[in-house]
Every structure is written in structure tokens, then in C-alpha cells.
Amino acid sequence: MTLKVLVCGGGISGLSLACALTQKGFEVTVLERALKYYSTAGAGIQLGINGQAVLREWGVLSTFQEVIAPVNKLTFMRSDGRPLGTTQWDDYFREKTGLVPGGVLRADLLARLEALVPPECIRRGVTVEKVESTKPTPSVQIVDENGDTCVESADLIIGADGIRSRVRDAVVRDEKPPTFSEMEYWCGVCPEPELNDHPTFEQDELMELVGSKKWFLCHPAGAEGARMRVWTLIQSGRERPEDWTDDKPAVEAFKENVDKEWPEFISALVSRSIRHYHLGIYHREPVPTWFRDRVVLTGDAVHAMPPTAGQGCNMALESSYVLANVLAEAMQQPATASDRSDSSDAGARIERALKKFERLRHTRTNNLYALSKINAAWMVAGGRFLTPLKLWWIGTWHRGKENFATRLYEREFVNECPALRPDGSPKTQQPPR
């Protein structure tokens, strides 16, 4: 039984889902507003062991390895550059999973995901205006680049259209807009050769500097020979757009503040960067329902979280992996008595699959959302007593081979990854509804 699936949104979530669904024989169309992806769009992403495990399960990890910079160790420093501790975790994780954390440029990840989807499956220049979840066939109203409106229907519509999802309106009733996290962040990318005079930066290192009410981190990303150093500064701030904007006067003022507040090697990193972005940090409060009839949400459309755990992309990949698997499983199973009594066998199978998807992913993403919120509060906390306590506590993380830093990463990101578990399901699940 072949399903016709419309995926609204051609970002990381939508493209990864299209890749998985086409592998399993579904008829997929991705609806994407952008006419093309730009090689300079965005900064970098921490592609964790869990995200890479998904790509490995799909048999495509080798396609991405040349643009993933390995992160073999984690180093913490004070805001003046004095070390707090280092954890070398590559041998431990390679032995456990065959993988190590990595960094990738957003544009590289998107380009390679798109290359895995047949070109005829992607429609660009179309904007989703409205989605109807009516039975037996849901539909989506779209506007193309010429302003012409049409309605498309499918067996299943998937909202992978980001934190300001239009598809979400068909699933979540009485919805509030995305929540501002009371934080902002600056980020950017700097070519590694620009930092050759700064031996502080090591090619395989995730470096985090702990300030009072501020947090700076940087890591490598991109192909060897064209490697970049991606950096982020997180701090309390006023509400602002989450678009990738680059305001030149604001950038210059930011550079001056970095010169005053951070060590010289961080100032060099920021000033020599080829792109700078200033964004507000938004998130979506978790909701109990991820689907209605034959319309389902995934990625940031349903589990958008602050970037303070470095797991937004990885959660999108995990959700794509699980959703594609449960849909394929439902279509392959023999029809039940209830299926045969239903006017649409496909509809009953889809509903079972979506219930299972929601159950398998709800607890996992809620836990990571909670961790992101805790990390966000921790990063911008400070003061006369709290800052010294933070520095002392972080310094204790790096004692011994299997230290707290390693075990924390493993517990939160690796152990519950569906692509690293024999049955593809997490240990903790939401009860069926």
C-alpha cells in the first residue's frame, strides 16, 4: 500500500523526513517556500551522536562525514580564558557507539539532505496558507511564486514548517505564538586559517567559556580544508526577530563589547568572522497532541526548544526516523478487523501509526525541552555568589576517564536515541491515548 504524503517545509526536518519516506517507498512531495538554499545561510550545528546514528541507520552517513568536523573533546574555561577542565571523550564514545559528536555547517547539512531526495519530490516557491484536517482526505491550500492559489490533497500531511508553523493551526487549537525565552544570542563563523596565530583553538575541540550571566561556546564545523570555527554567545536580552539578520552597525558595537569582556583569542575569533547574526531565542511550550486526523507535526513545528542543549537538529532527525518507521510498519502489517470495517483501510493504519509516533517521541522531546530550559537558566545566571559556585561545579565535571561530562552527554543524548536501541524505541514513553 503506497501513501501519498505532503511534507510542508523543506528544512532539516522536512528534508530528512522526505529522505526516510522515499527510502521506504512512499510517494512524497515537499512544499518549500524558499526558491533555493544559500551557501551562506545560517551558522553551524552540533550534530550529536544521536543525529549521526540516524543518518547511519538510513545508510547515508558517509555522504555527510566529509563535512562533519569531529569534536573529540570538551573544554571549559573562565571568561578570562583560564581553564576549568577538559574531557577527552572520543575513545569512550567510539567504543560505545562507533561515533563521536561533531559540528556541521547548516548549509552543508541542508545541501546533502536535499541531494538525497529525488528532485521531482521537491516543489519550491510555494507558501502554505491553510491546512484542513478533514476526513477522509486532508488538504493544504498553497500559493506559488506567481501568486496563484491551489489546493492539494494527500493521504497524510506532515507539518515540518518550523516554529511558526502554519500546519500547526490545524492540529493545536487556541494556540499561542512562540514564547520569547528572555534571551538573545550572537553567532557566527570564522575560517580556521584566520586563527592559525591562536594555538588556543584546537581543531577537534568544543570550547565553552563561562561568564557572569553570559556563556560563549565555539566548535569546528565543515569539510577539512574549508573548516570553520562556529561560535555562539548567549545572554539575557530583549525580544527581537529570530531571523538570520546581519545589522552592520550592531555588529561593530558587538565586536567592541567582546573586546572589553572576553579574552583576546575570543575577540580575534569574532572580529575575523565572515558572518555575524543576532537572534532572539524562542521556543514552543510542549503540547499533548501532535496530530489530528491525518495531519501530524514534527520537528520545530511541535518540539521547538531553546538551542541551549544543542539538540534541535538532532531531535528533528530522530523524529523523522521514528515517524518514517512507524508509518512503514503500519502499512506493512496485516489489516485488523477495525481496519476492514473502516471505509478507509489506509486511514485506520495512519491513525495507529501517528498514535505510536506521538507516544514514542513525546517523553523524549519533553525531557530535552526541559533540559534546554534548565541549561538556559544556568547559562545566564550569575552574581557575587552564584558565579563562583558555577565555576567550581563545572570544574568537578572533568575528573576521571568516565567523568560527569561524559556520562551526562551519554545519559541525555545517547542512551535514549531510537537509532541506537535495538527496537528503535526509547526507554521512557508516553502512555497511549
Residue-range domain boundaries for the chain: 4-177+284-420
- C-alpha cell belonging to residue 73: 573533546
Q: What is the pLDDT of residue 130?
A: 92
- What are the angstrom distances between the C-alpha of 180 and each of 42, 177, 311, 317, 427? 20, 9, 18, 24, 31
Inter-residue contact 119 to 22 (CB < 8 Å): no
Q: What is the pLDDT of residue 341?
A: 44
Is the domain 4-177+284-420 a CATH 3.50.50.60 member? yes
| Residue ranges in the chain whose pLDDT is less than 50 | 340-343, 432
Q: What is the pLDDT of residue 36?
A: 81
Inter-residue contact 102 to 71 (CB < 8 Å): yes
- What are the angstrom distances between the C-alpha of 373 and each of 48, 251, 304? 19, 27, 11
Instruction: Name residue 40's amino acid.
Output: T
Between 106-115 and 12-23, two packed helices, what is the crossing angle to 10 degrees? 30
Structure letter (DSSP) for residue 221: E
Say how far apart CA 115 and CA 109 lie, in whole Å.
10
pTM: 0.93
Helices assigned H by DSSP within 145-239: none
Say how far apart CA 283 and CA 11 lie, in whole Å.
17
Q: What is the pLDDT of residue 58?
A: 97
